[in-house]
Chain A
């Protein structure tokens, strides 16, 4: 079966019971996506499929034949980090690091949803044209990713700095 993983083509046969997460980790040796709860509750296994964030633990790999899969390894490498990876380092967006690859993939998928005008549970009017990446929206939209170290404040800051309006606001307040 054929997949496109982090920009490369992969041909591989496997038992149809294999989850996408197990295929990535056990067969392709991509250890970025983590097995936390293995039931869709923690988000540590989050990867991007055709740019959309999903829980790879709740997916059978056979469902995703022919699709474009990106794990954290496909976003940046040491020396050439993705801006969000650099921001996680800058803002202490992790302690143990276990949830980090899922948080980063999730945040990238989240910003894409925001750009497409997908509302959220905290959006005051679901019919609005667009939605801001403010504190409440960011936390709601990232609620599928748990961090047991509780590094949430750093995670929020890193995502805000990379994608949000927080940077502009903090610069404003510094100037004031």
Chain B
């Protein structure tokens, strides 16, 4: 076992009516990692995240948490997954949604306020979730994920709908959270965003892992000298 190993995934496979969405996916995750799952549309990024968190059943494979097998029911104790393109409780104000999370997880008002402040959500607290712009809605959802007191957060396209400034701010926030002990798995299709924030990458194509590791490790795997993630990605796929 690696000293900092947090999560290990072994041979995870998932099929939908005969279509293989994930094929023997294996990788590991270390404490404070920000792992970016990179891949084209339909590569199986969302499926992988939903399988990891237990929202989808798997056909085969195993997940280990600190070298111990992680049951389906035990996953919600250690990880939280924020799906892409959801609009929960759209007829209710944003603050009620964050307040609901605060109450469910028995968090302090201070913690909630801190997250809301860091995501600059003070202006939209009274507005209904369904009436928010895409960027604000995404930040409200990110607030929910950050409020979930889990060591591992899985975020599906966290920068989708954010403008460049907001993207940088959210990336900085995630990095701060990582430095304070949290681990992230981000599904990202924008390679520039991934290169900016992630320290490790998992390249996924048609449900198969084509590369995994740090930028340097990927360079070696793809036999490329460029430090451009896009060039490495194309070399490996």
Binding partners A and B = no
Interface residues of A (CB under 8 A from B): none
Interface residues of B (CB under 8 A from A): none
